[in-house]
A = this chain, B = another copy of it.
Amino acid sequence: MSQRQTRINVVMEAIRSRIASRSYPPGTRLPSVRAQAKAMRVSVSTVVEAYERLAAEEVICARPGSGFYVCGPVAPLALSEIGPPLDREVDPLWVSRQSLEAGASLLKPGCGWLPAAWMYEAGVRRALRATARADAAVLSDYATPLGLPALRQLLARRMAAADIEARPEQIMLTESGTQAIDLICRFLLEEGDTVLVDDPCYFNFHALLRAHRVKTVSVPFTPNGPDVEAFGAALREHSPRLYITNSGIHNPTGATLSPVIAHRLLKLADNTNLVIVEDDIFADFEVSPAPRLAAFDGLSRVIHIGSFSKTISASLRCGYVAARADWIDRLADLKIATSFGSGQLASAILLAALTDSGYRKHMEGVRIRLAEARNKTMARLDAIGVTPWIIPQAGMFIWCRLPPGIDAADVARSCLKEGVVLAPGNVFSQSQDASGFLRFNAAQSMDVRVFDTLARILPA
């Protein structure tokens, strides 16, 4: 810090402490910059800068022609902000809110993302510095309706690498993968429509569909994709408008769609009204790529969505949707109406991070580290009688069965009291058939206290 910076900070701290001690109560007019400079033996410009910064923080306020005054007091954060409430009903939002609200002291083996230390932090720092030098328009203007063209071109090239043909004008950027699905629901669904989901599936699909007030029907998920018999029966019985699923690595099971099931699903959908949303958020975790419905279907009835929240940064909000060009145009209208536009700045930062030559190497490292973490976690779970439903080939998730007769929600509630956030099976399950399951995140399970706590709580 420069000497000037230090002097400015000293003046700011002195004024803050006088305000805190009420030696300057709210409403007090501060000494003029000249008088303050003399009293503190610093230059006038130092005091001017210190006052300006305190004014920017709204600690003091300027009244033109009259000087600076101490602002009124504002209540501090409430107690409820410091820890999450522990008594919330275990519903589809339970894990999200517990995980999002958990302080650094909680362990979160149930949460759905990597620890910050596993993310592409160095790349994001470089991307921020690069974006600080971008054109004024990138820093200040709204994005075009579809979003930053260079990022959409890169996404088109990435999809082409997965055999998905999408022209850049068939791709729209969104604030997140979740917003992409939400816009699709707004576009396609009428109140009372039926939507198919996997059982189990990502719990936020339930929360999202509940917000849309549609009927949800679930299809049992097998280690190779949805149960084809049940899928066909659901199509016949409910004429669903939409099916939402994960391609690549399935959340929460870590399973992988097989080509034969992908093909059968699309064949069953022939001559129906069904649209399929394929959420590809875990793509960069794959070791050997699974088939993509969007590749088989050619973006006819399949809409392909994704984001980089799980690999580059969850703090940087940017997702995308690839679909038929006429649908993209309607989705763009809806995006403008309901959130005005996507962030050009976030897109530019993401583009810089994605095209940084370090990203590929970073993800190679993450895949290796995850494989080790999965093995270690499965071994530790095995030691306390918790067994994986399948051995996942990639990704962070392990879908596990508790010993017979134990209710996962009870275990989750007990563990939360001891500072461990779990993901009980039924938050993922429409049929509520998964009360004996927990989803573990291997990357978030490296602390042995997770298993110590579980061992204490599970009946021997």
Residues of A within 8 A of B (CB): 22, 25-31, 49, 52-53, 55-59, 61-63, 66-67, 69, 71-78, 80-81, 93, 96-97, 100-101, 104, 113, 116-117, 119-121, 124-126, 128-129, 131-133, 136-146, 149, 153-154, 156-158, 160-161, 167-169, 175-179, 182, 186, 191, 204, 207-208, 210-211, 309, 313-317, 332-334, 336-346, 348-349, 354-361
User: Do residues B342 and A156 form an inter-chain contact, with CB atoms below 8 A?
Assistant: no
- Shortest Cβ gap from A437 to chain B (Å): 22
Name the B residues within 8 Å of A161 (CB-CB): 22, 25-26, 58, 61, 71-72
User: Do residues A72 and B121 form an inter-chain contact, with CB atoms below 8 A?
Assistant: no
Per the bound structure, the CA–CA distance linking A26 and B164 in Å amounts to 13
User: Do residues B93 and A153 form an inter-chain contact, with CB atoms below 8 A?
Assistant: no
User: Do residues B356 and A140 form an inter-chain contact, with CB atoms below 8 A?
Assistant: no
User: Do residues A337 and B204 form an inter-chain contact, with CB atoms below 8 A?
Assistant: yes
User: Do residues A211 and B186 form an inter-chain contact, with CB atoms below 8 A?
Assistant: yes
Name the B residues within 8 Å of A71 (CB-CB): 157, 160-161
Per the bound structure, the CA–CA distance linking A341 and B318 in Å amounts to 11
User: Do residues B121 and A359 form an inter-chain contact, with CB atoms below 8 A?
Assistant: no
The residue that A72 contacts in the complex, of B81, B129, B156, B355, with Cβ under 8 A, is B156
Question: Nearest chain-B residue to A30 (Cβ)?
Answer: B357
Per the bound structure, the CA–CA distance linking A225 and B42 in Å amounts to 49
User: Do residues A136 and B121 form an inter-chain contact, with CB atoms below 8 A?
Assistant: yes
The residue that A29 contacts in the complex, of B52, B104, B141, B356, with Cβ under 8 A, is B356
For the complex of A and B, 6 pairs with smallest distance between CB atoms: A72-B157, A58-B157, A52-B357, A26-B157, A119-B140, A207-B337
- Shortest Cβ gap from A179 to chain B (Å): 5
The residue that A338 contacts in the complex, of B104, B211, B313, with Cβ under 8 A, is B211
- Shortest Cβ gap from A332 to chain B (Å): 8
Name the B residues within 8 Å of A158 (CB-CB): 25-27, 58, 72
Per the bound structure, the CA–CA distance linking A100 and B139 in Å amounts to 15
The residue that A182 contacts in the complex, of B49, B204, B338, with Cβ under 8 A, is B338
Per the bound structure, the CA–CA distance linking A61 and B356 in Å amounts to 14
The residue that A359 contacts in the complex, of B56, B77, B210, with Cβ under 8 A, is B56
